[in-house]
């Protein structure tokens, strides 16, 4: 199975894998590959940046996620969201809290 991986500047260390089951035969026309994402999720992610194309059949292991889980989600829903590790999530929450406090007193 092939997939494309995107990252989102608003969300550190969050990646979205998009299934490309017909690759390379699906490249003839320009397509919004992120259109498979639910609208609410897509709105919260903001703008995307393409990271890479990956052939999961030739990849033995993924860095932070279980390959079997990624493949299962790609087959069942067409996408997989790789969330940041807990320490990064904690840091992001603290930064957002500080930013909101700073804005409150400006």
**pLDDT value of residue 13:** 82
**pLDDT value of residue 103:** 67
CB atoms closer than 10 angstroms to residue 37: 21
| Average pLDDT, 10 consecutive residues per value, the chain (106 residues) | 91 89 78 88 89 92 90 95 77 76 65
CATH code of the domain containing 77 = 3.10.510.20
What range defines the domain where residue 55 resides?
2-104
Structure tokens at 13: 């260390």
Distance CA 67, CA 82 (A): 11
**pLDDT value of residue 25:** 82
**pLDDT value of residue 69:** 94
Task: Count how many domains the chain has.
Answer: 1
């Amino acid at each position: 199975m092939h997939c494309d991986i995107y990252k989102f500047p608003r969300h550190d260390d969050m990646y979205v894998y998009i299934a490309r089951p017909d690759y390379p035969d699906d490249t003839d026309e320009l397509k919004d590959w992120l259109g498979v994402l639910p609208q609410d999720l897509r709105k919260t992610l903001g703008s995307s940046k393409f990271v890479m194309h990956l052939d999961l059949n030739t990849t033995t292991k993924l860095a932070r996620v279980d390959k079997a889980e990624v493949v299962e989600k790609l087959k069942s829903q067409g996408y997989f969201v790789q969330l940041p590790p807990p320490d990064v999530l904690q840091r992001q929450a603290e930064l957002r809290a500080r930013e909101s406090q700073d804005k409150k007193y400006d």
